[in-house]
Chains A and B, each alone.
Chain A
Amino acid sequence: MATRRLRRSATRQGAGHGARGETGRNRRSAKAGVFPPRGGATSAAGLKHFTIAALLIVVGLPLAMIGLQAVFPEIAAGRLGAPFTALAPVFQDPRLPQLILNTLKLAAGVVLLSAVIGIPLGVLRGWFRIPVAPLWDLLMLVPFLIPPYIAAMGWILFLQPAGYWQQLTGWHAGNFLFSFPGVVFVMTLNVFPVVYFAVSRGVASAGGRLADVARVCGAPPWRALWRVTLPLAAPAMAASLLLAFAMSIEEYGTPAVLAANAGFFVLVTGIESRLSEWPIDLPGAAVMSLILVALALTVFSLQRRLLRGRDFETIGGKPAAMAERELGVWRWPVLLAFTAVVMLATVAPLFAIGATAFSRTLSGGLTAGNLGLDHFHAIFTEGSAALRAFGLSIGLGLAAALLTGLLGAAVAYVASRPAQRGGRWLDALSALPNTLPGVVVAVGLILLWNQPFLPFTPYNTVAILLLAYVCLLLPYPVRYAQAALRQVAGNLEAAARVHGAGIYRALWRIVLPLVWPSVLAAMVLVFAVASRELVASLLLAPAGMQTVSVFVWRQFEQGSVGQGMAVSLLTILATGGLILAALHVLRRLQRN
């Protein structure tokens, strides 16, 4: 409370000093170059308004179109007739309660299991010196690079009767895979890395100094961890679990591939079927999407309530060397845990994908005579379609990572400053896309941008895919930046402002460097997810253009599992390699 009061008064002072500081700022601005010599208060408002406007265009308007679609069933044809007639059929459907229950059950299962796996590993990674730590990080990132439906198909090929596991060991686990626990298991392996990365970053940045203080005051290391570091990292944990919840109510690939066999249906499969099976039911899908959004908002406000008053500022000014602790005798058990998780989350699906890609035929099985490069050969001889798709996906992934990183950091900043009224709404709006199935966002974007009266439109150009990815993935950088901002003391920024720095300069020189690692981590995730996004791309791909995931999907659709897996494998390796290279370069830059 005291800090808040201080921060607010500091901001007021900063604004009050505006007139006096003007000349000084002008003089300095020549050196600062990129920072416009504007009055602090006006600039702050400018940033705020720009952020709000961008958020409205990218997220607000497409979502509003979904809302309108739910209320006015004929809006796609440009009419407002028969309002509210789409609501009754959805709510009177006797299966609806079961769908909602299944959705919550699945999400609860995935969040729980993600917490069980992600939190301990994340804490260990952030708190101790883990041998070859960057390698573990990379291996934990791989599940993000594997599209969920590919991972699910990989697990089927691996565990079903006559699958690779049975071919290798004589055992199969088809009954487990095609069941509720099986769906939770496969989905968790896709989702838990968000928790792992957020927790390890949170612990690493919360860990240092305050825990050392506890140690100096006599607390044993485990106690310092338990009483100081973990509570400090709680916001990061909660935010990542919320993200995991949203991902698991929104994810379509795994339930579609696995749960259909188990007879386990969720809201998102209901929505997708309304949008992908003729006859198409746009209004029904919109209404069901709003139910999903309502679920997510409930959990979201619950999280806000839980975290209220738990902002801990751990980065208060003095730079602290990160002294990582040694594991000692625990080294081997910890390594074993990491290995086990990586085997399940990364190696097993990659093995299934690779085995299928290098097999001439599926019916030939894992035999030496069936090994071959036929599928890879086909990719490079059947023209450049696969390569062009690959280039498009990489480009879109990079662009989406940059845009979401910038906008996400801005949204998190604007929403987190305590003086901002309506910050909560910004926050909620930026979280919403995470709860919406990609296909619904795609429909919203078509409804919005295909209006005949628009003078220009990104629709039917590559920009519509970018808009879709930015909308869908914005929640990652926002959550990550927010968790980081919660730890940055507002008085650092205030101090900069008091010393005459403009708002942009304070942001650029003080706030951004402090939240940069978190935003960068989120941008890497965005790149990974955007470069393999399928569900929205299937509907939005401009005529004559396809992304890698769409290309692979078309291969599967025609029964060419092997060729689809070959392209997937190449894509996973290439995106993984790119991320590795980028991180390497960034580490170099940071060191200099």
Chain B
Amino acid sequence: MQVFSSVRGLAGAGLMALGLAAAAPAAALTVYSAGPAPLIEALAAGFTKLSGEPVSVFQGTTGKIFARLEAEAANPQADVVISASWDSAVDLDQRGWLMPYASPKAASVPDVYKTSNYVAQGLSALALVWNTKSGTPRPGDWNDLTADAFRDKVNLPDPAQSGTALELLAGLVSAQGDKAWQLMSELRGNGAAVAGANAAALNPVLQGAKAAVFGAVDYVAYGQKAKGEAIEVIFPSSGTVIAPRPMMILKSTSQPEQAKAFIDYVLSSAGQTEVAKVYLIPATTGVPAQRVGLADIPLLQPSRAVDGGTPPATDRATLLREFDQAFGR
């Protein structure tokens, strides 16, 4: 009797839970994409208009996308993944999750921004973002932020929370070695603050609580500047790093043809025009950037992209440990 009741209760509650569930998911192409949201929405709409195939989008930070991919590993849901961190694609590739695809549209993407299994959707660069009304002198290079004028007025995105900030750190260390860590110590000595992820570092600069961000993602700042914020995006004279945004197809996809067609569309001139609209640098050379282009950004040498591999002593754990040490955290 007791057992029967339990079973009946369980079945009832189960039915209730199932009744809430809608019909099985439609056979739309599922794309997981890092921000910006308007870009992936425009790309999805454009692809659907062109091919008639519906696209279903999950948009989040790179971290959220990968948390979801990991948790779904037993039964992957995504077909195409667009990340803001090149290293995350390298990692998925090493684990054998990716389906090789050489898009014919990728021909004009520079070799450093594509492999046989993933290709850049667009590029961003790390920059100094400076509040023009802050009463501080316009900085021209990273070192300028250690000047007295910038005491307590500099924000750094936390490399533990921002993949791009980590890439900048790696770029600085592989280009300048110990001088990079000295720069970090001097920044700390000058009262620079480590302030969460990218948006958390930028917002105080908009209001004027801080004068500059050391290593902001450029396209976000360009977007804010276009909306009238009094900021300037400055590429330091000693060089910075490029953060390519990899696109990849998961091996587990049930619709490889649509997935390939989607990649082709993003790399087409229509797709790359959408990429340019949000102030990213298009990955193909055919479409012009709506901002400072790749050719005009000084790069740190050697950067990871040129090497094709990770230089010594710039693995994540080492970088974060030394960064924490430099900032006394």
Residues of chain A touching chain B, judged by Cβ–Cβ distance below 8 Å, are 42, 45-46, 48-54, 56-58, 76-78, 153, 156-157, 160-163, 174, 256-257, 260-261, 263, 273, 275-280, 282, 360-365, 385, 439, 443, 446-447, 450-452, 456-458, 460-463, 466-467, 538-539, 541-544, 546, 554, 556-561
Which B residues are in CB contact (< 8 Å) with A456? 18, 21, 24
The 3 closest A-B CB pairs, nearest first, are A49-B9, A276-B63, A162-B208
Are A77 and B74 interface neighbours, CB within 8 A? yes
Judged by a CB distance under 8 angstroms, whether B171 is at the interface is no
Contact (Cβ within 8 A) B57 A362: no
In the complex, which residue of chain A has the Cβ closest to the Cβ of B35? Answer: A557
Q: Contact check: which of A54, A160, A543, A557 meets B204 at CB < 8 Å?
A: A160
Interface residues on B, range: 35 or more
Contact across chains for B16 and A54 when beta carbons are under 8 A apart: yes
* B204-A156 in contact (CB<8A): yes
Q: Is the CB of A543 within 8 A of B20?
A: no
B73 touches A558 (CB 8 A): no
Whether B224 pairs with A278 at a CB distance below 8 angstroms is: no
Q: Is B290 engaged at the interface, CB distance under 8 Å to the other chain?
A: no
Does B273 belong to the interface (CB within 8 Å)?
no
Q: Is B68 an interface residue (CB 8 A)?
A: yes
For residue B127, CB closer than 8 A to chain A, the reply is: no
- Give the shortest distance, in Å, between A369 (CB) and chain B (any CB): 11
Q: Separation in Å of the A76 CB from the closest CB of chain B?
A: 5
B residues near A261, Cβ cutoff 8 Å: 193-196
A47: nearest residue on chain B (CB-CB)? B9
B302 lies within 8 A of chain A by Cβ = no
Contacts of B316 in A (CB 8 A): 279
* A466 in contact with B20 (CB, 8 Å): yes
Choose among A365, A446, A447 the residue with the greatest number of B CB atoms under 10 Å from its CB.
Answer: A446
A273 to chain B, nearest CB (A): 6
**Minimal Cβ-Cβ distance residue in A for B222:** A559
Q: Closest CB-CB distance, A35 to chain B, in whole Å?
A: 17
**A-B contacts besides A277-B63, A554-B35, A561-B203, 4 pairs, CB < 8 Å:** A260-B195, A362-B206, A456-B18, A557-B199
Most buried by B among A279, A554, A557: A557
8 of the cross-chain contacts (CB-CB < 8 Å) are A163-B209, A276-B161, A279-B91, A360-B228, A456-B18, A461-B22, A558-B220, A560-B223
Contact partners of B200 in chain A: CB under 8 A: 257, 260
Question: Is B207 touching A276 in the complex (CB atoms < 8 A)?
Answer: no
Q: Are A460 and B196 in contact (CB under 8 A)?
A: no
CB of A543 within 8 A of CB of B30, answer: yes
Is there contact, CB below 8 Å, between A557 and B61? yes
Q: Is B25 an interface residue (CB 8 A)?
A: yes
Cα–Cα, bound, A457→B67 (Å): 20
Q: What chain B residues lie within 8 Å of A466 (beta carbons)?
A: 20
Chain A residues contacting B31 (CB-CB under 8 Å) are 543
Query: How far does the Cβ of B122 sit from chain A's closest Cβ, in whole Å?
Result: 15
Residues of chain B within 8 A of A48, CB atoms compared: 9
CB–CB A460/B77 < 8 A: yes
Question: Residue B318 at the A interface, CB < 8 A?
Answer: no
Q: Are A157 and B13 in contact, with the CB atoms below 8 A?
A: no
Q: Which residues of A contact B196 (CB under 8 A)?
A: 256-257, 260-261
- Answer whether A558 and B22 are a contact pair too, CB < 8 Å, given A53-B9, A156-B204, A277-B63: no
Decide if B98 is an interface residue (CB 8 Å cutoff). Answer: no
Contact A57 B56 (CB under 8 A): no
Least Cβ–Cβ distance between A439 and chain B, in angstroms: 8
Min CB gap A455→B, angstroms: 9
Chain B min CB distance to A10 (Å): 23
Is the Cβ of B74 less than 8 Å from the Cβ of A458? Answer: no
Q: How far is the CB of A378 from chain B (nearest CB, A)?
A: 9
Asked if B61 and A282 make an inter-chain contact with CB atoms under 8 angstroms apart, the answer reads no
Instruction: Take A278-B62, A561-B206 as given contacts and tell me if A49 and B8 are in contact as well, using a CB distance cutoff of 8 Å.
Output: yes
Distance between B199 CB and nearest chain A CB, rounded to angstroms: 5
- The answer to whether B111 has its CB under 8 Å from any CB of chain A is no
CA distance A161 to B160 in the complex (A): 25
Q: Which positions in B face A, CB cutoff 8 Å? A: 2, 5-6, 8-10, 12-14, 16-18, 20-22, 24-25, 28, 30-32, 35-37, 41, 56-64, 66-75, 77, 85, 87-88, 91, 131, 133, 158, 160-161, 163, 193-196, 198-200, 202-204, 206-209, 220-221, 223-224, 227-231, 316, 329
Contact of A45 among B5, B57, B61, B203 (CB under 8 A): B5
CA distance A558 to B221 in the complex (A): 9
Q: Which of B8, B21, B69 contacts A46 (CB 8 A)?
A: B8
Alpha-carbon separation in the docked complex, A451 to B74 (Å): 7
- Contact between A543 and B16, CB atoms less than 8 A apart: no
Q: Which of B2, B24, B71 contacts A446 (CB 8 A)?
A: B71
Q: A58 — which chain B residues lie within 8 A by C-beta?
A: 17
Q: How far is the CB of B95 from chain A (nearest CB, A)?
A: 10
Contacts of B230 in A (CB 8 A): 361, 363-364
A194–chain B nearest beta-carbon distance, Å: 27
Q: How far is the CB of B51 from chain A (nearest CB, A)?
A: 17
- B67 CB to nearest chain A CB (Å): 5
B8 touches A544 (CB 8 A): no
Q: Are B231 and A363 in contact (CB under 8 A)?
A: yes
Given contacts A539-B64, A543-B58, A559-B220, contact A277 B161 (CB under 8 A): yes
A557 to B197, CA, bound (A): 9
Alpha-carbon distance A257/B200, docked complex (angstroms):
7
Chain A residues within an 8 Å CB radius of B8 = 46, 49
**Contact between A273 and B160 (Cβ–Cβ < 8 Å)?**
yes
Q: Give the residue of A275, A363, A458 whose beta carbon is less than 8 angstroms from that of B207.
A: A363
In angstroms, Cα B131 to Cα A446, docked, is 43
- B91 CB contacts on chain A under 8 angstroms: 278-279
Residues of B within 8 A of A543 (CB): 25, 28, 30-32, 56-58, 77
Report the minimum CB–CB distance from A215 to chain B (whole Å).
Answer: 48
> Which of B8, B9, B12, B131 gathers most chain A CB within 10 Å?
B9
Q: Closest approach, in angstroms, between the C-beta of B208 and any C-beta of chain A?
A: 4
User: Could you tell me the distance between the alpha carbons of A276 and B209 in the complex, rounded to whole angstroms?
Assistant: 27
- Per the bound structure, the CA–CA distance linking A544 and B206 in Å amounts to 31
The answer to whether B30 touches A53, judged by C-beta atoms less than 8 angstroms apart, is no
A263 to B158, CA, bound (A): 11
Question: Which chain A residues lie closer than 8 Å to B202 at the CB level?
Answer: 559
Max count, chain B CB within 10 A of own CB: residue among A56, A77, A543: A543
Q: Are A539 and B68 in contact (CB under 8 A)?
A: yes
A450 touches B70 (CB 8 A): no
User: Are A53 and B207 also in contact (CB < 8 A) when A554-B37, A559-B202, A559-B221 are?
Assistant: no
Query: A432 CB to closest chain B CB, in angstroms?
Result: 18
Task: Give the one of A53, A58, A277, A544 with max B CB within 10 A.
Answer: A277
Q: Check A280–B6 contact: CB distance below 8 A.
A: no
CB distance from B127 to the nearest CB of A (A): 13
Contact partner of B12 (CB less than 8 A), chosen from A50, A364, A539, is A50
Question: Chain A residues near B231 (CB, 8 Å)?
Answer: 363
Contact between chains at A278 and B87 (CB < 8 Å): yes
Q: What is the bound-complex CA distance between A560 and B88, given in angstroms?
A: 26
- Give every chain A residue within 8 A of B5 (Cβ-Cβ): 42, 45-46, 49
Give B126 Cβ to nearest chain A Cβ, in Å.
Answer: 15
Closest A residue to B87 using CB positions: A278
In the bound complex, what is the Cα–Cα distance between A463 and B32 (angstroms)?
A: 20
User: A463–B21 contact, CB under 8 A?
Assistant: yes
Residues of B close to A49: CB separation below 8 A = 5-6, 8-10
Closest to A159 in B: B209
Query: B88 contacts A278, CB within 8 Å?
Result: yes
Contacts of B229 in A (CB 8 A): 361-363
B309 to chain A, nearest CB (A): 18
- The chain B residue with its CB closest to the CB of A256 is B196
> How far is B20's CA from A46's CA once the two chains are assembled, in angstroms?
22
Q: How far is the CA of A102 from the CA of B64 in the complex (A)?
A: 25
What residue in chain B is nearest A285 (Cβ atoms)? Answer: B67
Least Cβ–Cβ distance between B43 and chain A, in angstroms? 14
Given contacts A54-B16, A458-B21, A466-B20, whether A263 and B223 have CB atoms under 8 Å apart is no
